Amino acid sequence: MDVLRNNNWLLTVGTFLPVLGVIVMVFIPKGKELLIKQVALLTATATLVIGAVTLALFKYGSAGKLQFVVDTSWIPVIHSNYTIGLDGVSLPLYILSMVVTVLVMIYSWDHIPAPGNPKAFLSLMLILQVGMAGTFIAQDLILFFVFFELVLLPMYFMIGVWGGEQRQYASLKFFLYTMFGSALMLVAFLALFWQVQKTNPDASFSIPYLIDHAGDLSRSTQIWIFAGMFIGFAVKVPMFPFHTWLPDAHTQAPTQGSVILAAILLKLGTYGFIRIAIPILPKAAVAWAPYIGALAVIGIIYGALGCLAQTDMKRLIAFSSVAHMGFVMLGIATLTPLGVNAAVFGMVAHGLITGMLFFVAGSVKDRYHTLEIKRLGGMLKQMPKLGWILGFCAMASLGLPGLAGFWGEFPAIVSAYSPFGGNSGLPGVSKEVFRVFMVIAAVGTVLAAGYLLWLFQRVAFGEPKDEFADHASDGHGAVHAVGAAVNETEIHGAGHGDIHDVKLTEWIAWSPFLIAIVVLGVYPNLLFKVIDPASQTILKAFGKG
């Protein structure tokens, strides 16, 4: 295994540091909310600092290799080791999870959802962070599974306790559905191990080991094992038709939950495909590719149509995730570096953009106490900045070049023209089928423009509806007269009226998202440069020759 082991304390510390914060918070009385918030934010920030150090020490010249690798015995009785490492594909997602956690913490500073209790809420968020980061560094299937499951519980409580009116139903559904998927995934992991062990007595659950040794399994065995993994990951993505938990979970989750769900949790599934299912089981990947591609493009169109039917802004954004993750899965299904790069870029971009859209939805809900599209209107007039941010995110989400969303969609569409064409070891994937997918996916971009701009038109343009027209804050007359964004003075707190423009904590929490969307859109190579070597390594089996 060709890996780099320098500074290998980094990943462990970066992943488990939040636990320390949780332990500290356990001893702080519930009433000291400020202290609790401070400790939580400090912990998340410290984690992010470790992340920044990781970013600095990462050897970009060898982004294709696993770095900071630790490989020690963990549960010898089942041949599972504590194997962790980071390469160009996991690095962006690992860092993204840390950034998102910090920003969500900042947002939570004055946005703790009902019924309050920041101590529990923030503790759960820190535990969630451990699970997310851990999933991206795990290089052992059992370890991966543990982290993958660890994510479920905090999110379940976040939705179930701090969620909307139907939180119990939504949280239960979320939990059970993903649990069902991961159960099958675990089965697949076990079956894989046993199959490999038949010919290799020293077999382990290590992913690099399995990549080297599982490729010899017969095609039909691979297909069955892949099926188990497929269910597990596809539920998490979520792919059509396993997506129905998502709109409920998103709609009912508190804003923070929705943001994390969209930004990171959905990526666990697609990441699983790239990290585990495809490199370990290349024969099955080729066999499954047309079906994954088909479900992906169905998801693109279906998700978009679902969006058009929504009457609730948050549910619409939730449905749009189904469509966007369709593009990611289409890229993955091509089994080409071009497609997988697009997919990883798409994951990050979707995380930023949709995360941001959920933030906006949360803030709209805060102000209007409703997300019903029919009742909203004229947001640009009452809250010009929030309105323009919504417009910006909508444009980014529909894949406007120059913003991050485009770099996930466009290369994925292009790559579908020419999927993996076969080599000496593997047959190719049907080109004709994927060319049809390509056109369907391109149609999906039009529908995306349709539902997003329609939403924007209904929510932001026009005049505010009567029921909210009088709720505006004091400064609004001036806003109207001189210009939409002239409202330079920040209005702090909610004391000036229900409906006020973007607040300071929101600015702090959102600016990194907004800046990242522009920066990655203008200079996508920041990410592609890191992803590309890693995806080439991952797709070694699909290389030429």
Partner 1 sequence: MSAAQLGLAAETGWFLEHAYLIPIVPAVAFALIIFFGKRLPMKGSEIGLASMAASLVLAAGTAYQWIDRVDSFAGEGDHEGALGGFARAFRFAEEGHANYVEPVIRKVVWWQSGGVEIGLGQHIDGLAVMLLVLVTFISLLVQIFSLEYLRGDRRYTHFFAALTLFSAGMLAMVLAENMVQLILGWEIMGLCSFMLIGHWWEEEANSRAALKAFFTVRVGDIGLLVGTGVIFFGASAYATKLGNGSSGFSIDTINQWALSGTGSRSVLLWGSVALFIACIGKSGQFPLHTWLPDAMAGPTPVSSLLHSSTMVVAGVFLVARLYPLFHTGLEINVAGQHFNLIAVIGGITILIAAALAFVQNDIKKVLAYSTVSQLGYMMMGLGVGAWTPAVFHIFTHAFFKCCLFLCAGSVSHSGSHHSFDMKKDMGGLLRKMPITAACWIISTFALCGVPFFSGFFSKDEIIDNAHHNGYNVFFIIGLVGAFMTTAYMTRATYLTFFGKARGAAAGEHHDEITVVHADPHGAAAPVLAMASHGNVVVADASHGGSEAPDEAAAYTPDDAHGHDPHGHDAHDAHGHDAHDAHAGPHESPALITVPLVILAFLAIVSGYLNAAFLHIEKFTEWVAAAGDGIHFPELDHAPFKWANTIPSILLVLAGFLVSLALCKAVFGERKNPLQGLTQRVAPLRWGHTFLVNKYYLDVLYEKVIVHGVAYPISKGIYWINQNVIDRAVNETGIETRRLGGWIYRNIDQRVVDGAVNASGAAARGSGGALQGTQSGKVNQYGALLFGAAAIGALVLVIVNF
Q: Does 175 contact partner 1 by CB under 8 A?
A: yes
State the binding string over 231-250 for partner 1 (x if CB under 8 A, else -): ----------x--xx-----
Q: Does 177 contact partner 1 by CB under 8 A?
A: yes
What CA–CA distance (Å, rounded) separates 101 from 96? 8
Q: How far is the CB of 482 from partner 1 (least distance, A)?
A: 5
Q: Which stretch binds partner 1 (CB under 8 A): 62-70, 253-261, 415-423, 497-505?
A: 415-423
User: Around Cβ 324, how many Cβ atoms within 10 Å?
Assistant: 29
DSSP symbol at 277: I
Q: At what angle do helices 337-368 and 90-108 cross, to 10 degrees?
A: 10
Site for partner 1 in 185-214 (CB under 8 A): 186-187, 190-191, 194-195
Q: Which stretch binds partner 1 (CB under 8 A): 16-24, 264-272, 287-295, 436-444?
A: 436-444
Q: Among 28, 52, 373, 453, indicate the residue that binds partner 1 (CB under 8 A).
A: 453
Q: At what angle do helices 118-137 and 141-150 cross, to 10 degrees?
A: 160
Measured CA to CA in angstroms, residue 251 lies from 235, 261, 358 at distances of 17, 11, 10
Closest to partner 1 by CB, 255 vs 336, is 336
Closest to partner 1 by CB, 102 vs 416, is 416
- Count interface residues toward partner 1 (CB under 8 A): 93
User: 538: which 2 tokens?
Assistant: 């991952």
Q: Does 171 contact partner 1 by CB under 8 A?
A: yes
Contacts with 172 (C-beta within 8 Å, 6 or more apart), sequence order = 160
One DSSP character per residue, 161-230 reads: HHS-TTHHHHHHHHHHHHHHHHHHHHHHHHHHHHHHHHH-TT--SBHHHHHHHGGGS-HHHHHHHHHHHH
Whether 382 and 499 have beta carbons less than 8 Å apart is answered as yes
Angle at 377 between CA 372 and CA 382, to 5 degrees: 120
Q: Among 216, 372, 463, 467, indicate the residue that binds partner 1 (CB under 8 A).
A: 463
Q: Does 380 contact partner 1 by CB under 8 A?
A: yes
Q: Among 75, 439, 508, 515, indicate the residue that binds partner 1 (CB under 8 A).
A: 439
Q: How far is the CB of 1 from partner 1 (least distance, A)?
A: 24
What CA–CA distance (Å, rounded) separates 195 from 189? 10
Q: Does 519 contact partner 1 by CB under 8 A?
A: no
Closest to partner 1 by CB, 41 vs 502, is 502
Q: Among 136, 226, 407, 420, indicate the residue that binds partner 1 (CB under 8 A).
A: 407
Helices then strands, counting H and E runs in the chain, come out as 24, 2
Q: At what angle do helices 337-368 and 525-538 cross, to 10 degrees?
A: 130
DSSP symbol at 464: P
Site for partner 1 in 73-92 (CB under 8 A): none
Closest to partner 1 by CB, 73 vs 218, is 218
Whether 294 and 437 have beta carbons less than 8 Å apart is answered as yes
State the binding string over 467-506 for partner 1 (x if CB under 8 A, else -): ----------xx-xxxxxxx-x------------------
Q: How far is the CB of 207 from partner 1 (least distance, A)?
A: 20
Cis peptide bond upstream of 247, omega within 30: no
Q: Does 445 contact partner 1 by CB under 8 A?
A: yes
Q: Which stretch binds partner 1 (CB under 8 A): 92-100, 120-128, 434-442, 509-517?
A: 434-442
DSSP symbol at 428: -
Closest to partner 1 by CB, 111 vs 173, is 173
Phi-psi region of 460 (alpha: psi -120 to 50; beta: other; left: phi over 0): alpha
Closest to partner 1 by CB, 150 vs 190, is 190
What CA–CA distance (Å, rounded) separates 111 from 360? 13
Closest to partner 1 by CB, 12 vs 221, is 221
Q: Does 139 contact partner 1 by CB under 8 A?
A: no
Closest to partner 1 by CB, 42 vs 308, is 308
Q: How far is the CB of 438 from partner 1 (least distance, A)?
A: 6
What CA–CA distance (Å, rounded) separates 438 from 415? 8
Q: Which stretch binds partner 1 (CB under 8 A): 22-30, 38-46, 63-71, 522-530?
A: 522-530
Q: How far is the CB of 525 from partner 1 (least distance, A)?
A: 4
Q: Does 321 contact partner 1 by CB under 8 A?
A: no
Q: Does 537 contact partner 1 by CB under 8 A?
A: no
What CA–CA distance (Å, rounded) separates 532 from 269? 20
Q: How far is the CB of 311 from partner 1 (least distance, A)?
A: 10
Q: Does 309 contact partner 1 by CB under 8 A?
A: yes
Whether 320 and 307 have beta carbons less than 8 Å apart is answered as yes
Q: Does 298 contact partner 1 by CB under 8 A?
A: no
User: Around Cβ 303, how many Cβ atoms within 10 Å?
Assistant: 27
State the binding string over 4-23 for partner 1 (x if CB under 8 A, else -): --------------------
Q: How far is the CB of 232 from partner 1 (least distance, A)?
A: 10
